[in-house]
Each structure stands twice: as C-alpha cells, then as structure tokens.
Structure 1
Amino acid sequence: MISSGRLPLDEQAVALRSALSCNERLLMVLDRIAGMGLPGWYLTGGAVFQTVWNVVTGRPADAGIKDFDIFYFDDRDPSWEAEDQMIQTAATLFEDLPVEVEIRNEARVHLWYEAKFGEPCAPYDSTEAAIDSFAATTCAVGIRPERAGQWRVYAPHGLADVFNLVLRPNPGPGRRQAYITKSARWQQQWPELTVLPWPD
C-alpha cells in the first residue's frame, strides 16, 4: 500500500491525478464530458475517491465503481426538461461504453429533494456548494480538466483522508443515516477503511 496523505497539498493534487489516471474509464468520461460545455461541472462522488482507494490498496482501479457522477450548475433554466436534455445527450455520448454516467443540475436539487428524502434542502448557489454537502468530508472531491492539460481539483477538506483511507463525517441536516449506510457498505468492499463515528 502506498500513501500520499503526508505530502504537501500541491503534491497531493499531483498524486491524485496520477491515481485517477490509472482508471481508463474515468479518463474516457472526463474527455467526453468536457466536450458538452456544462457550466461549472465536476466529476465527483465514488468514481473519484474510490479509484484512489483502489490504487493505494493494490486493487484494479475501477473495482467496485458503479457509476460516474457529473454535477453541473445552471440556474438559467432549472427545469426538468433542460436537465433531461443533458441526460439524454450524455446517454448518446456514452452508449458505446460500459459505464453508467449520472448527470445532475445542482441548481434544481432543492426542487425535488423534499419529495424524495422527506425533508427540505436549501438551494445550492454553485456546484461546489453541492459537493460540500456530501455526508463524508472524504467524499467531497471534484475534478475536471482545464486548459493546457491542467486539472481543476476542488477538495475543501483536503486529500489526506482520501489517500489514508479515513472516512470522516460531515455533519449536517439529513446526512447521518446516509453516512452510516454508505460507510458500512464501503467498509465491506474496502476493509482497510477507518470509519470515524458520527458525532453525538
């Protein structure tokens, strides 16, 4: 097992890209999504941090990764029809690849969240704000390629926990059960994980 959790932050970003580059499907998703011109988009969620977990524990880079989450933010038209158009475009874009790509406009999450989860969600003002709301701080990482071959990395809590396989809670309304459920499932797949308890 290798660990990059004690490197300076700029070197952790380089190590992150190195780890993620081991996942060929992830690179294909990034390349194709970049061409859609989605405003403020990031690849985020399990495809990012779980790829790192796989690489640092010597597993195949894409082991256990079920889908690729693309968040974007477009408050000019928060209608379902506009979001669905992006979803259908992506479905065509990836129809030849054995991957599931989920695209969501984070500007409209508050419109459907209460009906699905039973409690309201304050409107997000950016894609970054949506990433901030993950139940674990470890999961709050987003990436996208930018000009000159550079990657933009959004990681408000840093990357040390990702590389060190530490799952840390991110307290907030409605997150506790999600943290408990997901951490139990992930620990079965990655028993090396250290799962920190939800605070009382």
Structure 2
Amino acid sequence: MLDAAVFREIALSNPHNRRLLEGLAELALPQCHLTAGCLFQTLWNVLSGRPPHENIKDYDVFYFDGGDLSWEAEDALIRRVTPLAERLGLPVEVKNQARVHLWYRQRFGADYPQLHSVRDGISRYLVRCTCVGIDVATGGVFAPDGFADLAAGILRINPVIPQPGKWQTKAESYRARWPWLRIVEEGDQFA
C-alpha cells in the first residue's frame, strides 16, 4: 500500500528530484516544497516500468513569502534557483504562492483566492490526486487527498478548484502519457 514513506522513496528514485531537494535545502526558501508532476509522474513512471524521470516536463518549486508581493522579489528568488537548475540541467519553475492571486486571472481567466501557505497552493491542483509536495526543510510529504487515487491512477476533478474544461484537458494530457490512468467524471461511482 502506498503511504507517505513509500511515496517519498519512489519520488526520490528520480535522481533529479533527489538532487533538486538537496540543492533547494541550501537556498532555504520560505516554506519551500518540491511539488507537482516531478513527484506524481515519477510514481506513475515506476508503476509503468519506465525510468523514473521519463516524460516529466518540468520540476515545480513552490515557496511562500507574503512579506513582499512584488514581481521583483519573486524574480530575485527565481534567480537564486536558476544556477541550481542550470547545474542540474532541469527545467525548474519557481512560484511564490503568496502572489498567485495577483496574476492568475490574467493568465488563466478565472479568479483565484489569496493563499496563506504553500500547502494552500498545492491543495489547488486541478486533478485531485496530484496534490502532493515534499517539504524541502523537513522532507515531509504533504498529500491532502492521500495516495489511493494516485496509486490507482484515478484522475478526479479537485472540488476545491472546479474548472471542468481545464481539468479534462489536464487529465487527458496525463492519460496520453500514461494510458492506464482512468478519468473519473464527477458523480461516477466506479472507483
């Protein structure tokens, strides 16, 4: 059965995740988490018998700094992570979760609430089972919806951010890379 310890072990079987976590720890970004596809897609790769790092488009780093919501402050932290990303040869995206509400509507066409922590941001991924992160400082795994759907490859809409069109597109893109995944519509009781 998949639990936090097993998930972390599998996520770190991707050497890119392991090296990125090590490098991020040295930078000490506030509330820093490695999150999103680089973690759950590593699991799906392992379950599919593929190399752990295959088909991972980017590596997401979330941090939370509510003290300065300017783009300049976020850009300064992005520039601190850039040499690490370049040294590892990884496409890394860094986002201050304290300021997502400032740009989300312009980029995605929908409102977004002001968040109060990195975990608030991780909890808002479109596909429910993909809400996972590893705390860089503690190594702890955050998975508000647990691991059952993630391990079973069940893709459900996240009721915290109900955007059916965007969810469907995201779920289909995952299933195109991992065909064994199952998309479960709201109200479907099979899983």
Name the residue aligned to 2:30. Answer: 39
Name the residue aligned to 1:184. Answer: 172
2:144 is aligned with 1:156: yes
Name the residue aligned to 1:76. Answer: 67
Q: CA offset at residue 186 of structure 1?
A: 0.9
Q: Is the 8 A contact 1:40 1:73 kept in 2?
A: yes
Q: Structure 1: which 5+ residue stretches go unaligned?
A: 6-11
After TM superposition, the structure 1 = structure 2 runs for residues 83-162 of structure 1, keeping only pairs within 5 Å, are 83-146=74-137, 151-162=139-150
Q: Is the 8 A contact 1:134 1:175 kept in 2?
A: no
Cα separation, partners in 2 of 1:173 and 1:27, compared to 1, 3 Å? closer
Q: Structure 2: which 5+ residue stretches go unaligned?
A: none
Structure 2 Cα separation of the partners of residues 193 and 17 of structure 1: 21
Q: CA offset at residue 174 of structure 1?
A: 5.6
2:185 is aligned with 1:194: no
Amino acid across the alignment from 1:170: N
Name the residue aligned to 1:8. Answer: none
Q: CA offset at residue 21 of structure 1?
A: 2.1
Q: Deviations over 1:107-127 (max 9, x none)?
A: 001111111122221100111
Amino acid across the alignment from 1:85: A
Name the residue aligned to 1:9. Answer: none
SS at match of 2:88: coil
Structure 2 Cα separation of the partners of residues 32 and 175 of structure 1: 34
Structure 1 Cα separation of the partners of residues 107 and 47 of structure 2: 35
Q: Which moved more, 1:35-44 or 1:87-96?
A: 87-96
